[in-house]
Amino acid sequence: MLIPFIWMVSTSLMSEVEVYQFPPRLFPKEIKWSNYTGALTMLPFGRFFLNTFLVTTIAVLGQLITCSMAAYAFARLRFKGRDGLFALFMSTMMVPSIVTLIPAYLIVATFGWMNSYWALFTPILTSVWGIFLLRQFFLTIPTSYEEAARLEGASEWTVYWKVILPLSRPALATLAVFAFMNTWKDFLWPLLVTSKNDMRTLEVGIAMFSSLQGTNWPFQMAAAVVVLLPILILFMATQRYFIEGISLSGIKS
Amino acid sequence: MRYTVRSGLVIVTFLWALGPAQIIAQERSSPSTGSNPIVSTERPPKITLRVATWASAEEFELEQRMAERFMQLYPEITVEHESIPSSYREKILAAYAAGTVPDVFLLDSPIIPALMNRGLLVNLSPYEPQTGIDPDDYYEAVRAVFLNNGELLAFPKDFTPLLIYYNRALFRKANLPYPSEDWTWDDFLSAAKALTLDEDGDGKPDQFGSAFDNKLYLWQPWIWTNGGDLFAPDGTTTKGVLTSEKTLEAFQFLVDLRVKHGVTPPMVGVGNSRGGAIQGTVGMFYGGRLAMMPSGRWAYVRMRPYLQSGDLDVGVAPLPSRFKGQKSNVIYAAGWSVSKSSPHREWAVRLAAFLSSEEAQLIRAESPIGIPSLKKVAAIQASNDPFGIEQVFMEEAAFGRQSWGTKIDDFSRIEYILESALDRTLFGNEPLPVVMEKASQEIDQLIATNAAQSKDFAPLSGNSQIMGFLYWGCLLVLIGVGASIVSVRRKHRYELTTGLSFITPSFVVLFVFVLIPLVFSLYLSFHQWDIISSNKPFVGTSNFEALLSDAQFWKAISNTFIYTLHVPIGMVISLGIALLLSKNTRGMAFWRMIFFLPSVSSMVAIAMVWQWMYHPEFGLVNYGLRFFGLPPGTWLTDPKTALISLMIVNIWISIGYQMVIFLAGLKGIPSTYYDAARVDGANWWHQFVHITLPLLRPTTLFILVTSVISSFQVFTLVFIMTEGGPLDATEVVVHNIYRNAYDFLQMGYASAMAWILFLIVGAITWLQFRITRKRVTYS
């Protein structure tokens, strides 16, 4: 489980000469912290971080709102065409993005969004994966809670906001973690829609340590470890929500 | 009347999303094309020029400095330097499709003929006098790479021939003389044999004489050194050439290195070309396990630190020739091209010329990454090299000739056909004459088909077609929504509008960025499209018909089905781990993190580590097997086991994802159920079967459906670890689609494939929903 991560960390602390020992070595002879300062100052990583952070935050918030709304409709509301729409939504997951990449790029280019934050976050303001995840979760919530709320005259919006969302913290935390992770680590799309360094994201920055002449492994892995840390911190911070579960007993009607 | 307000809101959201786009689209619609062929000596207007390179972080600063120097010369011009470190090809292709091509961009072989034949590049030779460029200053063979019927398509930047890097220490240890300048194949083979050693005495060599990677760009010049060739001189046919005695003899020599003499390592992964897999050829050479490595100047960039630190003692020798004095080599070059679509052509040409000029090349020579195309600068660079390696490379330029890749259109596919053919001999033991005869026919047919196609390429347009799809799509959706609101009975209208308004935000995003592209790809699947030109001839169902007889596609489909079988196995493991880790005790957070780590680790790191673990000789996996007295496996190097090896890796990667979702699902089960069961005296197993599993069903369905979908779309793992090999054993559908779209420039055909995949995955997902729904009602 740990080996790739250990390999990343130890490579990030090696001199370039040590990387290609054969068979590979897991620990550096001498720890080179300078790889970190070297890698992080060679490119404007501060700016990359800011861009990635901004885009990721907007995308995560966007997905939490849009996905939970749609999931609520698919799981809890009854209306004409609901199942057909859900099937349509699901079907968008089944097309390899490699094929929709160029058309999506054309759209963004015609919008004049190249090199802008719009191009980076708008396409990921929702996620069918997230809708599906929340829908499955909402299905498990007993209907008695919302029936009680409805008897008191609550609208669908109130039920969604006051009943369903508070009950769904584990699922929302899961969605947040994965939305964060996917946006944070996205590579090909940010690469395509940005060309200036001051619009680029972390993952594109990491790739810049590779070229046709080979890869500067220590620098690339140093950057990769730094980029990975926020995800791990977020995971540690949110995992108590997965664990905590819903204290159903507390809101007995 | 509440519903009218709601549906009004739906419409407004829609228009909001499309509003700005329309305005911007209008603004951009009229680019003026300057066509003055003579570079003016006037001051330039205030303009911005975009230049694209594949500069890595280390080169970025140098290229940036050059851009700044140019801006000093022409203060009116702003140069935007764009570095595209990887996926360069995809990015340039996408830029062509959208009409956002940089004014100046770096080009190397694989894509030159495609752009050249479509007339998309500015002929630079008329500009040479005005820009102060003297053709004689450049290596003739290098400039020739970019010459086509007297048109110069790029100002040369740098180049490389192929040489043999050899580890001098290993030669000394074996008491062998260093390779001479005019060594022959026999000399090479006997050295390779003498340098292949079994040092630990396990009956298998752990040091190898040389390496053989099945990459056309590596073996092409070997054929020439034997007087053979791939194509007839005019490049129109392979008939009688590819299957000629001399060509086959060269192929046989290379294949025998592995198959007969065993002086090259078994091929592990194919990642060697992607920046150097550590346990691949480069890694073995750096680690002193490989005595000789055929490669280009590019390898020297990362090798220099090893020479400086004294960790390696390396020399370079020319490629051996079949007979003494019969030398030949290849020239791979990169150069600066100007796009015909640039509105500021004359200044773009100036910039390209500047980037290729002596001043710029001298700046680059400060930390050299290639051999300068200017003879003078190359000589300076060589004299600064304490290891004498640059000198040998430079001298070899005299024997270099242009690769077929820069002359023949659709060469990526030809490359693929030839490498696959050689694979069949390497892994399948099919006789060479037979596989090459087949390859020859296939290539000739391809060349004939391409020649028969129309050569009228429409000039680039801003590609407004997709906007048509968008507007019509919008209209249809609005009509559909309006009609269904009207048609629904009054008492259900509120339900409908409420439901729709909850869905609208997601729908707008999906509509614009997924559904429209999806419909567009359906449209493409009935057309032929090369991405770079705006021609999209309608071809009816012929893409789908061609698919029916595309054996490789069906092989990829069946591989993908087999690959997907790992999903249930992985899910059982993940569920087990989730159950173990769901207890809320101290330390669990740490273990959850451990299992989560692989799913967030860099994919490249994962690929590196697993390629090393699977290494047949030095890998951890085989070490473990041997330790327990089990026979070692062949893993990625054998067509029989390669796919299973990838499945194991993916199970391992997916545990994190599946475990987290299972954990969230497990915690969603109210503890009151368990309390009740315990009161009834149910044991752990009964609780699991009668409470956990049934109540976990929505979660399980979710993981199953999403994992199966992503398994059917597996790409990155294959792309990094095996490139579909060996012998197509790991070729999966999306990798096949990628190949056809971006390597072979067959977007229409690739879209047809994607739609077949779409239908298959759709059917399977529907089935999963059906089956679980039944079970739910049953219980």
Candidate from A11, A22, A197 with C-beta closest to B288? A22
pLDDT value for B5: 53
The answer on pLDDT for B34 being more than 50 is: no
In chain A, residues with a C-beta closer than 8 Å to the C-beta of B592 are: 239
Phi and psi at residue B382, to the nearest 5°: -65, -35
When pLDDT is cut at 50, 70 and 90, the band that residue B775 belongs to is low
| B164 three-state secondary structure | strand
B283: amino acid identity, one letter:
G
When pLDDT is cut at 50, 70 and 90, the band that residue B525 belongs to is very high
Q: Is residue A187 part of a domain?
A: yes
Residue B334's closest chain A neighbor by CA? A212
Transcribe B458-475 into DSSP letters: PPP----HHHHHHHHHHH
Burial class (CB in 10 A: 0-12, 13-18, 19+), B259: middle
**Mean pLDDT within A173-181:** 90
Chain segment A194-203, per-residue pLDDT in tens: 888 889 999 8
Q: Give the Cα separation of B183 and B35 in Å (integer).
A: 52
| B22 three-state secondary structure | helix
pLDDT value for B276: 43
B520 contact A CB<8A: yes
Q: With a CB-CB cutoff of 8 Å, which residues 45-64 of chain A face chain B?
A: none
Q: With a CB-CB cutoff of 8 Å, which residues 178-207 of chain A face chain B?
A: 178, 181, 185, 188, 191-192, 195-197, 204-207
Q: Give the Cα separation of B235 and B409 in Å (integer).
A: 10
Q: With a CB-CB cutoff of 8 Å, which residues 643-662 of chain B face chain A?
A: 652, 657, 660-661
Most confident of A46-50, B304-308, B717-721: A46-50
**Mean pLDDT within B475-491:** 89
B477 contact A CB<8A: no
Interface contact A110-B531, CB threshold 8 A: no
pLDDT value for B558: 96
A106 contact B CB<8A: yes
B461 contact A CB<8A: no
Closest CA to B371 of B396, B345, B340, B407: B396
When pLDDT is cut at 50, 70 and 90, the band that residue B38 belongs to is very low
For the segment(s) B162-332+403-452, the CATH number from 3.40.190.10, 3.30.420.40, 3.30.70.260, 2.30.40.10 is 3.40.190.10
Of B286 and B479, the one with more pLDDT: B479
B670 contact A CB<8A: yes
When pLDDT is cut at 50, 70 and 90, the band that residue B25 belongs to is very low
In chain B, residues with a C-beta closer than 8 Å to the C-beta of A223 are: none
B516 contact A CB<8A: yes
Closest CA to B699 of A242, A92, A183, A65: A242
**Mean pLDDT within B403-413:** 88
Report the gap between the CA of B431 and the closest CA in chain A (Å).
34
The answer on pLDDT for B576 being more than 50 is: yes
The answer on pLDDT for A108 being more than 80 is: yes
Interface contact A94-B757, CB threshold 8 A: yes
Degrees, nearest 5: CA angle A197-A202-A207: 80
Q: Is residue A113 part of a domain?
A: yes
B282 contact A CB<8A: yes
pLDDT value for B6: 54
Domains B47-158+333-388 and B162-332+403-452 share a fold: yes
Candidate from B85, B91, B766 with C-beta closest to A211? B85
Closest CA to B323 of B260, B253, B389: B253
User: What is the pLDDT of chain A when averaged over all its residues?
Assistant: 86
Phi and psi at residue B711, to the nearest 5°: -70, -40
pLDDT value for B516: 94
Candidate from B97, B600, B762 with C-beta closest to A94? B762
Q: Give the Cα separation of B256 and A94 in Å (integer).
A: 44
Q: Give the Cα separation of B534 and B563 in Å (integer).
A: 37
**Mean pLDDT within A144-150:** 84
**E-strand spans in chain A?**
210-211, 214-215
pLDDT value for B455: 65
Contact B264, B252 (CB under 8 A): no
Q: Give the Cα separation of A66 and A131 in Å (integer).
A: 8
pLDDT value for A22: 63
- Residue B456: count other Cβ atoms within 10 Å of its Cβ: 9
CATH superfamily of B47-158+333-388: Periplasmic binding protein-like II (3.40.190.10)
pLDDT value for B159: 93
Report the gap between the CA of B258 and the closest CA in chain A (Å).
21
Interface contact A208-B517, CB threshold 8 A: no
Query: What is the domain range of residue A227?
Result: 33-251
CB pairs A-B closer than 8 Å: 384
pLDDT value for B280: 72
Chain segment A66-75, per-residue pLDDT in tens: 999 999 999 9
Candidate from B21, B470, B698 with C-beta closest to A140? B698
Interface contact B598-A131, CB threshold 8 A: no
Interface contact B56-A209, CB threshold 8 A: yes
pLDDT value for B556: 95
Q: Is B366 left (phi over 0), alpha (psi -120 to 50) or beta?
A: alpha
When pLDDT is cut at 50, 70 and 90, the band that residue B369 belongs to is confident
User: What is the pLDDT of chain B when averaged over all its residues?
Assistant: 85
In chain A, residues with a C-beta closer than 8 Å to the C-beta of B669 are: 140
* Least confident residue range of B1-5, B330-334, B567-571, B685-689: B1-5
In chain B, residues with a C-beta closer than 8 Å to the C-beta of A219 are: 57
Phi and psi at residue A29, to the nearest 5°: -65, -45
In chain A, residues with a C-beta closer than 8 Å to the C-beta of B761 are: 94
Q: Give the Cα separation of B83 and B63 in Å (integer).
A: 9
Cis peptide before B726 (omega within 30 of 0): yes
Residue B513, both tokens:
């960025």
Q: Give the Cα separation of A108 and A118 in Å (integer).
A: 9
B213: amino acid identity, one letter:
D
Report the gap between the CA of A124 and the closest CA in chain B (Å).
8
Residue B776, both tokens:
């739910």
Residues pairing with B53 in the sheet = B83
pLDDT value for B423: 87
When pLDDT is cut at 50, 70 and 90, the band that residue A247 belongs to is very low
Domain residue ranges in chain B = 2-26+461-532, 47-158+333-388, 162-332+403-452, 543-778
Contact B371, B393 (CB under 8 A): yes
The answer on pLDDT for B143 being more than 80 is: yes
Q: Give the Cα separation of B297 and B692 in Å (integer).
A: 61
pLDDT value for B24: 41
Of A20 and A56, the one with more pLDDT: A56
Of B603 and B750, the one with more pLDDT: B750
Closest CA to B646 of B532, B746, B747, B722: B722
Contact B404, B236 (CB under 8 A): no
Burial class (CB in 10 A: 0-12, 13-18, 19+), B585: exposed
pLDDT value for B247: 94
When pLDDT is cut at 50, 70 and 90, the band that residue B123 belongs to is very high
**Mean pLDDT within B572-590:** 86
A23 contact B CB<8A: yes
The answer on pLDDT for B18 being more than 70 is: no
Interface contact B521-A100, CB threshold 8 A: yes
Residue A190's closest chain B neighbor by CA? B91
**Type and span of the H or E element at B413:** helix B411-428
pLDDT value for B19: 45
Chain segment B270-309, per-residue pLDDT in tens: 443 343 455 578 878 888 889 999 999 988 988 888 899 8
Interface contact A17-B27, CB threshold 8 A: no
Q: Give the Cα separation of B669 and B680 in Å (integer).
A: 18
Interface contact A232-B600, CB threshold 8 A: yes
Contact A239, B587 (CB under 8 A): no
pLDDT value for B268: 52
Interface contact B661-A4, CB threshold 8 A: no
Q: Is residue A4 part of a domain?
A: no
A8 contact B CB<8A: yes
* Least confident residue range of A22-26, A220-224, A248-252: A248-252
The number of folded domains in chain A is 1
Selected residue of A136, A185, A226 to mutate for chain B interface (largest B Cβ count, 10 A): A136
Candidate from B496, B503, B599 with C-beta closest to A80? B496
Secondary structure of B646-672 in the HEC alphabet?
HHHHHHHHHHHHHHHHHHHHHHCCCHH
Candidate from A104, A133, A210 with C-beta closest to B517? A104
The answer on pLDDT for B564 being more than 60 is: yes
In chain A, residues with a C-beta closer than 8 Å to the C-beta of B664 are: 137, 170-171, 173-174, 242
Residue B745, both tokens:
């420039």
Transcribe A54-118 into DSSP letters: HHHHHHHHHHHHHHHHHHHHHHH---TTHHHHHHHHHHGGGS-HHHHHHHHHHHHHHHT-TTSHH
Chain segment B171-225, per-residue pLDDT in tens: 999 999 999 988 999 999 999 999 999 887 777 888 999 988 888 888 999 999 9
Q: With a CB-CB cutoff of 8 Å, which residues 99-158 of chain B face chain A?
A: 99-100, 102
**Mean pLDDT within B673-680:** 85
For helices A45-76 and A128-139, what crossing angle results, to 10°?
40
Q: With a CB-CB cutoff of 8 Å, which residues 577-636 of chain B face chain A?
A: 582, 584, 588-589, 592-602, 604-606, 608-610, 612-613, 615, 618
Contact B765, A94 (CB under 8 A): yes
Q: Is residue A21 part of a domain?
A: no
Burial class (CB in 10 A: 0-12, 13-18, 19+), B550: middle
Contact B448, B236 (CB under 8 A): no
Interface contact A133-B589, CB threshold 8 A: no
Candidate from B531, B582, B597 with C-beta closest to A102? B531
Identify the CATH number of the domain in which residue A155 sits.
Answer: 1.10.3720.10
State the architecture of B543-778 in CATH terms: Orthogonal Bundle (1.10)
pLDDT value for B383: 92
The answer on pLDDT for B759 being more than 90 is: yes
β-pairing verdict for B104-107 and B47-53: parallel
Q: What one-character DSSP code corresponds to residue B344?
A: T
pLDDT value for B50: 93
When pLDDT is cut at 50, 70 and 90, the band that residue B109 belongs to is low
